[in-house]
A and B are shown apart, each in its own frame.
Chain A
Amino acid sequence: MTVSREAVDLRAEHLTVRFGGAVAIDDLSLCAPSGQVTGLIGPNGAGKTTTFNACSGLLRPDKGRILLAGRDVSEDPPQKRARAGLGRTYQRMQLCESMTVIANVALGPEARLSGRAPWRHLFSPSDQQRAIATATDEALELCGIGDLRDRTISTLSTGKRRLVELARVLAGGFSVLLLDEPSSGLDEAETEAFGQILRRVQLERRVGTLLVEHDMSLVMSICARLYVLDFGKLIFEGLPDEAQASEVVRAAYLGAPA
């Protein structure tokens, strides 16, 4: 890929999102620095996916701004943020169901290279094709789904689909990854394997990852730092060990004051 992997961090400042009268996110600030996994956890409806949507530009926050590598991208549409290095996966996966695994994964770099120039949408020079092929292959290998390359997505299990979506965002060469519940729908072994892949990604590439996840063992073992949301409010920020010990976090999850 032609995209350089310099240190790019994602920063959200004073984000507020309202749906009608309901406040989905309330004055949330967070930072996902380059080179480490940052966890974003919280009970259902805490506003995690909304935060992701605001970061990636799918919805416009009522207040606050998003900074990517120090640059304000709040006014940019999602595709422009993606071109600036922000990649994401979805809790409800966004895969091209009628296409093969390899075509889906290759779409990551291809979409990014197509950008917004019309001629870039028509044809691709062969050096870009080579770059796409290499990136695709690396990502397939990294996610261990090389043997599925010619399978159609609609024939795959949820677990395999999650890997395809991860492979696509990895092939895209993004500097910041937003992973939205990548292990939901995966069994224990698959989750374990998934954790391995994330660790390898972290070792091999200097990416910053913001991870929304419900599997606590995965979160605790992989995240360098945690943000805990409850009803749209940030209730905790700190190291995973501290989060485990925190009364506030426990109360949010168990619903009763300790």
Chain B
Amino acid sequence: MPGVRAVSELLPFVVAGLVTGSLYGLAGTGLVLTYKTSGVFNFAHGAVGAASAFVFFDLWYDRGLPWPLALIVSVGVLAPLLGLLLSAVAGRLATASTASRVVATVGVLLVIQGLIQVRYGAVPRSIHTPLPTTTTRILGTEVGYDQMITAAVALVTLAALSYMFRATRLGLQMRAVVDNGELVGLTGTSPPAVRAASWVIGCVFAGITGVLFAPVVGLNSLLLTLVVVQAFGAAALGRLRNLTMTFAGGLLVGVVQAVLRAPIIRDAVPLIKSLTNLDMAVSFLCLFLVLLLSRRGVFADVPHVRSPRFVRVLPISTICVALATVTVFVALLPYLAPTRAPVFTQAAIFVVILASLHLLVEVSGQVSLCHAVFVAIGATSFAHFTTGAGLPWLVGSLLAACVAVPVGAVVALPSIRLSGLYLALATFGFGIVVEQMAYNRPIMFGTLGTRTGHRPSVLGLDGDAGYFYLCVLCAVLAVGLILVIRRARLGRLLAALADSPTSLVTNGSSINVTRLLVFCVAAAMAAFGGALYVGVVGSVSSTGVSPGALISFNSLLWIAVLALAGRSDILSPVIAAVALIVLPSYFTSEAFANFQPVAFGLAALAVTVFGEDFRAWLSMAAPAVEARMAHSPVADRVKRLVGSEGLA
């Protein structure tokens, strides 16, 4: 009978799905536990799993240590130590801005990833599992002992957590925090101890997941990170608060993912077959859709107080001298270092891209973790319009910017219902979904993963120097646009939106319009940067390892580097672009290249964790800092119109 055959063909996939699903559930449970007890969402969760896996297989597979010892070192010592580190970081960030809370754990992610690369190299390796791989027949399906043991480990671990919740004092406190984090500070129990304990548990869960996943996906730090990060989808299904639901969500994601791989399903539904990588994207699709479709108020982020912006008002003469120096320097740059012209050109383009990110993060207080996707959409659309359709450069690049506008609007949709961290998570999910499912489609990079495009062919702009000047001009215009927006009504509404959306609403402004606008503008700017990007070497690729590559993961890197470049509208994008693009080109030795993400990560961590202290120290050291506060544009205008003499 065909029905029975279908079931028997599907069953192995369901079993495999339940096994991976139990691991997603385990990792997700750890994630939700740490999130609920500290308010900090751990983007480094996957990296912790990867680190444990690498250390375990280093000790057991390469050095031949007995596996229990290797397990104790990797999951019993390393993971808890990382947990304590993250707990300390989280403790300082409870009420920090969304960007800080995101960037801090992204910093940890970069550090761990970087150290893995430094120690073990970037080349993925395949290893075999320490578990027995023989199979037995259960209900007519071959089930591996390793599969059974994996699922059993996940279940036993969760049972242990459940027992601890019920039977121990610490467990009771932890449950209290998970139920209502605000209350715990009031009831006299020690939140730091509870927090540290839950971070240790969460990281151990991530470690177990990493070790058990490594034989399946190989020792590849990015892939391992990504696999553990699939737990984000499970966590979203558990609404980032319910541990049981999270585990169930993990199982669901695992089973759906595995079933989508089954040939019988793929043959039956052509759509699934045509959507390559749908299985890898399922979890992130879940993440995006759950956040997008959830009832208002289900995901409500903790409010925070933004520290005021200090803008140093320099004398006109200083500004003129600085401007003249910079202009001369930039004008001479292609002649001073002719071989590096492409590097500086790319840096100028990144000023455009990072300025658009700055507009979202700093000006509007919203975090986008899919910026690389906006750039990729711009780059590939530009290639289609020019190389494909034969349109002139200017038309092609402007159209590319327009293409990104509706995409920006789609990403802005969650921002209507979500704020802060949840918006960041939704954009993160969106970025990975696009990368997994759309990058290799003809509409973007195609199966070959590259697209070509040309530079404008007029006025000598196709030469290295000419194109560099063009990109610098665009960078200046991009930063200028940020300054204009700051001073226009949109800037004032965005500043207010970042502080208190409620006040805007009850004073009559439709904040969804503001949010939609800023995402569209930022996406268009980033896409225009993408169009320029193609012209640097004449082609653009969907993969790469450089900090400027358009892989979704780099969105995290960019936002971390931008965060450590400060909060200035003019200087931050420039400093960040130099740090991302120019510096690596000068330090080309392998050691430097490897340590670069570590350095970025450490710096991002330092800025987010100690930045406030540093600012506080600055304001104590300079009591006159209040006087240097930038006068808001409104204040200036009011003074001009009314005159300040009547009131002061």
- Using CB atoms and an 8 Å cutoff, list the residues of chain A in contact with chain B: 56, 58, 77-80, 82-83, 87-88, 90, 94-100, 102-103, 106-108, 110-112, 114-118, 120-124, 129-130, 132-134, 136-137, 140-141, 146-147, 149-152, 154-155, 168-169, 172
Supposing A99-B496, A114-B493 touch, asked if A107 and B642 sit within 8 A by C-beta, the answer is no
Among B305, B496, B508, B646, contact of A83 (Cβ-Cβ < 8 Å): B508
Q: Using an 8 Å CB-CB cutoff, how does the interface string of B626-648 with A read, 1 for contact, 0 for none?
A: 10010110110110011000111
Chain B residues within 8 Å of A136, by CB = 634, 638
Evaluate contact between A115 and B647: CB separation under 8 angstroms: no
Count the A-B residue pairs with Cβ separation under 8 angstroms: how many? 165
Supposing A122-B488, A122-B490, A137-B638 touch, asked if A102 and B632 sit within 8 A by C-beta, the answer is yes
**Nearest residue in B to A151 (C-beta to C-beta)?**
B626
Supposing A122-B489, A136-B638 touch, asked if A96 and B632 sit within 8 A by C-beta, the answer is no
Supposing A103-B492, A136-B634, A152-B308 touch, asked if A94 and B502 sit within 8 A by C-beta, the answer is yes
Among B499, B505, B635, contact of A96 (Cβ-Cβ < 8 Å): B499
The bracket for how many chain B residues form the interface is 35 or more
Evaluate contact between B641 and A133: CB separation under 8 angstroms: yes
| Given A88-B506, A96-B500, A121-B509, 6 additional A-B pairs, CB 8 A | A94-B506, A95-B500, A95-B503, A97-B499, A99-B496, A121-B517
Evaluate contact between A98 and B307: CB separation under 8 angstroms: yes
Assembly CA distance A112 to B646 (angstroms): 26
B447 CB–A CB distance under 8 Å: no
Chain A residues within 8 Å of B506, by CB = 56, 58, 78-79, 82, 87-88, 94
Evaluate contact between A121 and B635: CB separation under 8 angstroms: no
Chain B residues within 8 Å of A168, by CB = 503, 507
Assembly CA distance A1 to B486 (angstroms): 24
Supposing A107-B507, A136-B638 touch, asked if A147 and B308 sit within 8 A by C-beta, the answer is no
Supposing A78-B506, A79-B511, A87-B506 touch, asked if A124 and B489 sit within 8 A by C-beta, the answer is yes
Instruction: Quote the shortest CB–CB distance from A198 to chain B (angstroms).
Output: 19
B495 CB–A CB distance under 8 Å: yes
Chain A residues within 8 Å of B641, by CB = 129-130, 133-134
**Nearest residue in B to A108 (C-beta to C-beta)?**
B507
Chain B residues within 8 Å of A99, by CB = 308, 495-496, 499, 632
Among B307, B493, B517, contact of A110 (Cβ-Cβ < 8 Å): B493
Chain A residues within 8 Å of B503, by CB = 94-96, 107, 111, 168
Evaluate contact between A82 and B507: CB separation under 8 angstroms: yes
**Nearest residue in A to B507 (C-beta to C-beta)?**
A111
Instruction: Quote the shortest CB–CB distance from A151 to chain B (angstroms).
Output: 8
Evaluate contact between A102 and B634: CB separation under 8 angstroms: yes
Instruction: Quote the shortest CB–CB distance from B340 to chain A (angstroms).
Output: 38
Instruction: Quote the shortest CB–CB distance from A62 to chain B (angstroms).
Output: 17
Among A111, A141, A149, contact of B508 (Cβ-Cβ < 8 Å): A111
Among B309, B489, B516, B647, contact of A98 (Cβ-Cβ < 8 Å): B309
Interface residues of B in 475-522 (CB under 8 A from A): 488-490, 492-493, 495-496, 498-500, 502-511, 513-514, 516-517
Residue of B504, B511, B516, B638 most packed against chain A (CB within 10 A):
B638
Chain A residues within 8 Å of B514, by CB = 114, 121
**Nearest residue in B to A172 (C-beta to C-beta)?**
B507
Supposing A107-B507, A121-B489, A122-B488 touch, asked if A152 and B629 sit within 8 A by C-beta, the answer is yes
B306 CB–A CB distance under 8 Å: yes
Assembly CA distance A82 to B506 (angstroms): 6
**Nearest residue in A to B509 (C-beta to C-beta)?**
A111
Residue of B305, B626, B635 most packed against chain A (CB within 10 A):
B635
Instruction: Quote the shortest CB–CB distance from A173 to chain B (angstroms).
Output: 10
Instruction: Quote the shortest CB–CB distance from A41 to chain B (angstroms).
Output: 22
Instruction: Quote the shortest CB–CB distance from B3 to chain A (angstroms).
Output: 46
Instruction: Quote the shortest CB–CB distance from A138 to chain B (angstroms).
Output: 10
Interface class of chain B by DSSP: helix
**Nearest residue in B to A137 (C-beta to C-beta)?**
B642
Instruction: Quote the shortest CB–CB distance from B246 to chain A (angstroms).
Output: 25
9 contacts between A and B (CB under 8 A): A82-B506, A82-B507, A97-B305, A97-B500, A100-B631, A111-B507, A114-B493, A136-B638, A154-B305
**Nearest residue in B to A88 (C-beta to C-beta)?**
B506
Supposing A82-B508, A115-B509 touch, asked if A98 and B499 sit within 8 A by C-beta, the answer is yes
Supposing A118-B517, A121-B489, A121-B493 touch, asked if A133 and B509 sit within 8 A by C-beta, the answer is no
Interface residues of B in 585-640 (CB under 8 A from A): 626, 629, 631-632, 634-635, 637-638
Per CB-CB distance, the 3 closest pairs between chain A and chain B, nearest first, are: A146-B647, A82-B508, A96-B499
Instruction: Quote the shortest CB–CB distance from A146 to chain B (angstroms).
Output: 4
Chain B residues within 8 Å of A120, by CB = 489
Evaluate contact between A111 and B488: CB separation under 8 angstroms: no
Evaluate contact between A102 and B308: CB separation under 8 angstroms: no
Instruction: Quote the shortest CB–CB distance from A135 to chain B (angstroms).
Output: 10
Assembly CA distance A122 to B509 (angstroms): 12
Supposing A99-B308, A103-B635, A133-B634 touch, asked if A150 and B509 sit within 8 A by C-beta, the answer is no
Instruction: Quote the shortest CB–CB distance from B302 to chain A (angstroms).
Output: 14
Assembly CA distance A148 to B114 (angstroms): 49
Evaluate contact between A149 and B510: CB separation under 8 angstroms: no
**Nearest residue in A to B521 (C-beta to C-beta)?**
A122
Residue of A87, A132, A150, A154 most packed against chain B (CB within 10 A):
A150
Chain A residues within 8 Å of B511, by CB = 79
Instruction: Quote the shortest CB–CB distance from B244 to chain A (angstroms).
Output: 22
Assembly CA distance A83 to B642 (angstroms): 26
Assembly CA distance A58 to B504 (angstroms): 13
Among A102, A107, A121, contact of B638 (Cβ-Cβ < 8 Å): A102
**Nearest residue in B to A130 (C-beta to C-beta)?**
B641
Chain B residues within 8 Å of A124, by CB = 488-489
**Nearest residue in A to B641 (C-beta to C-beta)?**
A133
Assembly CA distance A107 to B498 (angstroms): 13
Instruction: Quote the shortest CB–CB distance from A9 to chain B (angstroms).
Output: 19
**Nearest residue in B to A171 (C-beta to C-beta)?**
B507
Evaluate contact between B638 and A133: CB separation under 8 angstroms: yes
Instruction: Quote the shortest CB–CB distance from A209 to chain B (angstroms).
Output: 16
Instruction: Quote the shortest CB–CB distance from B509 to chain A (angstroms).
Output: 4
Evaluate contact between B507 and A87: CB separation under 8 angstroms: yes
Residue of A95, A106, A114, A123 most packed against chain B (CB within 10 A):
A114
Instruction: Quote the shortest CB–CB distance from B34 to chain A (angstroms).
Output: 28
Evaluate contact between A100 and B490: CB separation under 8 angstroms: no
**Nearest residue in A to B488 (C-beta to C-beta)?**
A123
Q: Using an 8 Å CB-CB cutoff, how does the interface string of B401-424 with A read, 1 for contact, 0 for none?
A: 000000000000000000000000
Supposing A97-B499, A154-B308, A172-B508 touch, asked if A103 and B632 sit within 8 A by C-beta, the answer is yes
Chain A residues within 8 Å of B648, by CB = 146-147, 149
Assembly CA distance A168 to B500 (angstroms): 13
Chain B residues within 8 Å of A77, by CB = 505
Chain A residues within 8 Å of B504, by CB = 79, 107, 111
Assembly CA distance A95 to B635 (angstroms): 17
Chain B residues within 8 Å of A116, by CB = 510, 513
Chain A residues within 8 Å of B516, by CB = 118
Evaluate contact between A114 and B489: CB separation under 8 angstroms: yes
Residue of A94, A124, A132 most packed against chain B (CB within 10 A):
A94
Residue of B305, B309, B504, B648 most packed against chain A (CB within 10 A):
B504
Evaluate contact between B507 and A140: CB separation under 8 angstroms: no
Chain B residues within 8 Å of A102, by CB = 632, 634-635, 638
